[in-house]
Amino acid sequence: MTNTRFGRLGFIGFGKMAESIVSALGPSSETEAFRFISRSDGSRHRGSERGGIDCSDAPEKLFGSADTVVIAVTPQDLDDISPLFSQPPDALIVTLLAGISTDRIRAVTGSDRVCRMIPNIATAKRRSLVGMCFATTTDDESRERAHLLAAELGTPLPIPERLMPAATGIGGSGLAFAFRFAHALALGGVAEGMTYEQASMAAAAVLDGAAAMLLDGRHAAQLETDIASPAGTTIEGLQRLDEDGFTAAVMHAVRAASKKARSFEADLS
């Protein structure tokens, strides 16, 4: 029953993100350790369908058994769940709420142990970037436990809280930018005579290889230079990419998404 990596896991809210985390971590004997509180019969039903996860309306059941409680409602629902925290919980609180500060979560939950995470939908494949920061009051053991959970979901990126909007821009929205790049790469293949299916699989394999090499810790600019042989094919393509504004366009996209995330933080604070 006990999950030795990050403790028994509970959820408040069982929507897309909670479901994606549960499907990433289970099914296993540890699935028995999941427990969640939800609002409607629909999400209760979805939750119990996914490996018999125990759903309850009683906060004392959730807080009595979970070592880590993931808040997975939408930011607009935060006020609605505040009555659940009539007693400050012992559990580590992991909040997924975009734009809501750790200070606000501490105030709502009464907990000093708060980790804020920004995952993306690649959680389901355990390949998400997980931007994460902590309330300053969070103890070391809780930080370690949150880090282990993030590592199960993909690549943890511990950052100061002021950089969470940037993590949203590069990690949350950046995944969509990567899909747009994959689509463009595939269209290039189609223009050269491949079917879209062939070109799309080729683009996926190329991105997979690029990600694996980058995750080894190598520098993108160095890898790019290694590929581009003198007077070869790659340098021709790289020149065209930048003549067409590729680098500036991607930087603008990350900055625009991060700016929007900052404006959400300001609106919600």
Tell me which of 172, 199, 257, 261 binds ligand NAP, using CB under 6 A.
172
What string marks each residue from 238 to 257 as x (binds ligand NAP by CB under 6 A) or -? --------------------
Given the complex with ligand NAP, which of 58 and 121 has the nearer CB atom?
A: 121
Q: How far is the CB of 131 from ligand NAP (least distance, A)?
A: 9
Q: Return the range that interacts with ligand NAP (CB under 6 A); candidates 74-82, 103-111, 183-191, 232-240.
A: 74-82
Contact status: 156 vs ligand NAP (CB under 6 A): no
Query: Which amino acid makes up residue 265?
Result: E
Task: Please identify which residue in the block is written with the tokens 């309330």.
Answer: 135
Count of residues touching ligand NAP (by CB under 6 A) = 28
Contact status: 80 vs ligand NAP (CB under 6 A): yes
CB-based closest residue to ligand NAP:
15
Contact status: 194 vs ligand NAP (CB under 6 A): no
Given the complex with ligand NAP, which of 180 and 240 has the nearer CB atom?
A: 180
What string marks each residue from 35 to 64 as x (binds ligand NAP by CB under 6 A) or -? --xxxx-xx---------------------
Tell me which of 5, 16, 45, 125 binds ligand NAP, using CB under 6 A.
16
Contact status: 22 vs ligand NAP (CB under 6 A): no
Contact status: 77 vs ligand NAP (CB under 6 A): yes
Which residue in 172, 62, 153 sits closest to 109, CA to CA?
A: 62
Given the complex with ligand NAP, which of 99 and 199 has the nearer CB atom?
A: 99
State the Rg of the chain over Cα.
21
Binding site for ligand NAP (CB under 6 A): 12-18, 37-40, 42-43, 72-75, 77, 80-81, 96-98, 118-121, 172
